[in-house]
Copies of this chain bind each other. A is one copy, B any other.
């Protein structure tokens, strides 16, 4: 088994960048890190519990004003070692696994107009994402050439998201034009 249990590692990365509670992690996963790794709060809570059991993170209860207490998790030395170990292991190149591509290929066997509608909806979605990513780049990384270390990596990954969204837009637009 080369690469399972990746959510653990995604959480380690997030907690290395900034210790947080389960809910804060959930919110962060629906933003920056979530752009290439999503997770629900239930899954996050479960995995945090397991990571605590494994000694990868330490927990501290934090009282808050006007809200319930929260548990803030921080990465331990053991967790950092696990992360470093995982980073050095190979990652298999995964295939696309795209339901939309499947539908595009299958359109002959159903209502093509309906499939085109599905494609249009997805295209609009990718346009929205691209715009969001580009705004983030403009706001947080106005001059990429000066970046180093963590910030550089964050920028490069975000930029990869931009490239991917542009490709989706190109692809889906071609499909729609071919069936116009």
Contact = CB atoms under 8 A, between A and B. Distances in A.
Contacts of A37: 95-98, 101-102
A90 B100 CA distance: 9
Contacts of A97: 36-38
A95 B103 CA distance: 17
A1 interface: no
A105 B153 contact: yes
Given A84-B111, A122-B91, A6 B99 contact: yes
- Copy number in this complex? 2
B93 A122 contact: yes
Nearest to A151: B108
A71 to B, nearest CB: 22
A164 B96 contact: yes
B16 A102 contact: no
Interface residues on A, range: 35 or more
Given A95-B35, A96-B36, A171-B160, A109 B90 contact: no
Given A90-B121, A99-B91, A114-B87, A154 B13 contact: no
Interface of A: 3, 6, 9-10, 12-13, 16, 33-38, 80, 83-91, 93-111, 114-115, 118, 121-122, 125-126, 129, 149-150, 152-154, 156-157, 159-161, 163-164, 166-167, 170-171, 174-175, 178-179
Q: Which 3 A-B pairs have the closest CB atoms?
A: A87-B110, A88-B114, A84-B110
